[in-house]
Amino acid sequence: MQADLEAKTFFEAMPGPRRYQLTTTARCAKELTNLPVVTSNDAYRLGNAVERQGVDWLGARRQVLEHPKSFQDSILYNFLMGDVEEQRAFLGCVADYKRKLDDSPSRSMHHGDNRTIVVPLRLSDKVRFMVEDYPVVNSAIVRYKRMHCPWCDTLVIMTLLVWGEDKNHMFAFSQREYKQSLAVLNSIAKTAQSKDGGNLRVIIRSTLDADSDFVYSAYSPHLVLPVVTPSSWNRLLTFCNSAVLDRHREQSAIDFFDSAIKPKLKAAGRREEILTHYINLESHVPDDVVVNWFQSEVRRTGLAEHSVTIKQMSNWKDWPGRMRPYRVGLRAYDIGVRSIQRAAQEK
């Protein structure tokens, strides 16, 4: 890769799915700089918001409800409006979005076919965890093809070069990480094209529409998720992929969406009511809590995680006392990542 490569398409923040939809593909090294770059994504964090993990997941949910013109009918908006945290509710929202794509006039393929291996990759602000481990991706591709689809002739790498700068200014965009991301993509693609790497035709697919991206992977029959950078996005994909490929489970989820969620989407005043709960909760949760404070708290109190709704959380008492065990202080935030940054700077 050339050391002086720079992105050609920058976006300061992730556009709302209704405001801007763009899918870009790259088939050779010189096209990699055409992939869009999002320098600060705080507007549509599907994985963190659904799993209720990560920095400021409450704020990620609130922002979607605050901007209905941008996010109405998106997977996350519908999920939040349903106010049901069960996995079948999220699955129903995903299946409904796929149903809408199938009914749209677009002729583009909404998922990989039976001859295509699909691999989602999180690079950009997580590329530091892959610089040495990315050969694991190629090993996983070769192993999957040999065991499950020796007839597969195409590899689609799903990625979006997005940086998620948070309140502590971690994970901010850097030119160095951008170059590393392109280098990793180029290396994985070249290896996959070789005889030992699978002899595959490689397409790198990047879209600013997170919902279409998620559906494409979830509905692909040959989805490979190498354990390199575990993420909430991949955990959701693992669940949804096995569920939607079971037509009985998919239909059950659609039926649940139509009966339990869809009627709530147009209910007068519902969005405002739910939004009030999020604003209230944000006022109680400090910025310096651990990323899994919610999971820790429901375990401590003996509650089932997916049965706890936002409305119920709004009625919790003694928030200062509840949050005290989970506060770590901003200076102690993500010590592991800070040490990695220091080591990289020293090199």
pLDDT of residue 129: 67
Q: Distances in Å between the alpha carbon of 292 and those of 12, 45, 232?
A: 27, 16, 12
- Residue 30: the pLDDT is 77
pLDDT tens per residue across span 214-244: 999 999 999 999 776 668 888 999 999 999 9
Yes or no: say if 10 and 39 are a contact pair by the CB < 8 Å rule. yes
CA pair distance 130, 163, nearest whole angstrom: 15
Q: What pLDDT, on the 0 to 100 scale, is given for residue 328? A: 84
How far is Cα 206 from Cα 23, in angstroms, rounded to an integer? Answer: 6
Which residues on neighbouring strands pair with residue 203, listed in sequence order?
A: 156
Q: Strand order in 201-207's β-sheet?
A: 23-26, 201-207, 154-158, 116-120
Residues with Cβ within 8 Å of 128's Cβ and at least 6 positions away in sequence, in order, are: 177, 180, 340, 341, 344
Q: 10 Å Cβ neighbour count for 267?
A: 10
Chunked in runs of 10, what are the mean pLDDT values of the chain (347 residues)?
Answer: 54 53 72 80 81 90 92 95 95 96 76 94 73 82 96 93 65 79 88 95 89 94 81 90 94 97 95 96 91 94 94 94 87 50 46
- Between 232-244 and 210-218, two packed helices, what is the crossing angle to 10 degrees? 50
Tokens read off for 25 = 């593909």
pLDDT at 287: 85
Give the pairing of strands 37-38 and 161-162: parallel
Residues 6+ apart with CB under 8 A from 35: 7, 9, 24, 26, 159, 161, 204, 206
Residues in a beta bridge with 116? 154
